[in-house]
Structure 1
């Protein structure tokens, strides 16, 4: 399902072109390119060590690029820090250490709104509406919640900044299949509000089922790029990356 703006040749909302970079002298990203349109769900999959999380960090400004550029809404943000990118409309949920365990759920959400100086209550109610299980535990310490609920708090906290692009690094890591399905349902709901989603996911088959666009990375470079459905139907992709 190509979105309208891409089919008409307009610039995608997020464009990360030709990213090359890594840690120390070693490049992990080898010219990787990612684009996401408004309200699109883009999923990055691939084998371990392919550079999936590194690509996310590069988009968010946590990894300096040796080559390439990142634009958001047509504006070049390649030189901006992660904090500056949050102010431009990026929200990032890392795989681990993504909540304050000793703070209550509500305090976690309030911390998410740190860049805002307006009334955040409406956004908080939207988060509670999206995650009813979290709403019930708003007075509880976030560290006491189940793994799936902690992930919901982490996503909710990122939504408190009212991002235009929400980036999720393996949001379903370590959760049960039922919780994974529920999280994916919520991610679809978020995208329907017009927020763009870029996520790295180990559960490749399930993630591609909800993806508008999928990127298969191998050794820091794009191996396959297509709609989620097309990648799922590709015999080569299935044999090599999806276990048949």
Structure 2
């Protein structure tokens, strides 16, 4: 077995000159795989994802994409290398239309992106219906679709999602997860931080449980769901 397509290996670091939040944390995802990071509040889940995306300095450890060391690259350069990132909040331009938001996602493209736009509309039909509406007027679930769609406009090889179902109803959460599965089936790797741990692990090929910035449990989604220690400590029994 070769190295995973994307790996943040033994990452230790924090924000600025503050204390370390991550402690030798390792997160990896294969091509076309869904990897989910779960754990209690304050466990360092979002920090681990931001470290993989280059949003904080690592004191030790490495990030590699398709065998290339990208540890020193800026987030912007990582986007150019094929990484898309959707933050939990402030992830759309509210005063711009849905279509303008999606077009903003193609800012690094020099080719004709209309084919990708059509693919996003196929994935999220409601966005096509509302393409001329201000994104800020949409429901929470629809705004998340805009944010994911905009990230897909860069044609990423890896799509990173920070709490994509935060604040949405269970029905909308299920719909978003279905779309995320579709994206993974197209060959794009998904790395996702998710508070709804049980539901996320049900769709995960691989899961990471973090506690205090370190790996506590790692396994397939199915294995973690069946692990009595994980169930008792993180899934409510």
* Normalised TM-score (structure 2): 0.99
CA–CA separation in structure 1 for the residues paired with 2:100 and 2:11: 36
Tell me, yes or no, if structure 1 residue 158 matches structure 2 residue 148: no
Match of 1:202 in 2: 195
Q: Which of 105, 118, 136 does residue 98 from structure 2 map onto?
A: 105
For residues 128-185 of structure 1, give each alpha carbon's deviation from its aligned partner in whole angstroms, at most 9, with x where no partner exists. 0000111110000000000000000000000000000000000000000000000000
Map residues 26-41 of structure 1 onto 2, 5 A cutoff.
26-41=19-34
For residues 65-116 of structure 1, give each alpha carbon's deviation from its aligned partner in whole angstroms, at most 9, with x where no partner exists. 0000000011100000000000000000000000000000000000000000
CA–CA separation in structure 2 for the residues paired with 1:37 and 1:73: 9
Match of 1:92 in 2: 85
Backbone CA RMSD of aligned residues:
0.5
Match of 2:115 in 1: 122
Tell me, yes or no, if structure 1 residue 16 matches structure 2 residue 25: no
Match of 1:4 in 2: none
C-alpha deviation, 1:192, in angstroms = 0.1
CA–CA separation in structure 2 for the residues paired with 1:61 and 1:136: 35
CA–CA separation in structure 2 for the residues paired with 1:133 and 1:148: 11
Q: Which of 206, 213, 224 does residue 213 from structure 1 map onto?
A: 206
CA–CA separation in structure 2 for the residues paired with 1:233 and 1:134: 37
C-alpha deviation, 1:25, in angstroms = 2.9
CA–CA separation in structure 2 for the residues paired with 1:182 and 1:134: 14
Map residues 14-93 of structure 1 onto 2, 5 A cutoff.
14-23=6-15, 24-93=17-86
Tell me, yes or no, if structure 1 residue 234 matches structure 2 residue 227: yes
Match of 2:124 in 1: 131
Count of aligned residue pairs for this structure pair:
236
Unaligned runs of 5+ in 1: 1-8
Q: Which of 139, 143, 150 does residue 146 from structure 1 map onto?
A: 139
* Normalised TM-score (structure 1): 0.96
CA–CA separation in structure 1 for the residues paired with 2:8 and 2:23: 13
CA–CA separation in structure 2 for the residues paired with 1:197 and 1:88: 15
User: Equivalent residue of 1:99, what SS?
Assistant: coil
Tell me, yes or no, if structure 1 residue 222 matches structure 2 residue 215: yes
User: Equivalent residue of 1:86, what SS?
Assistant: helix
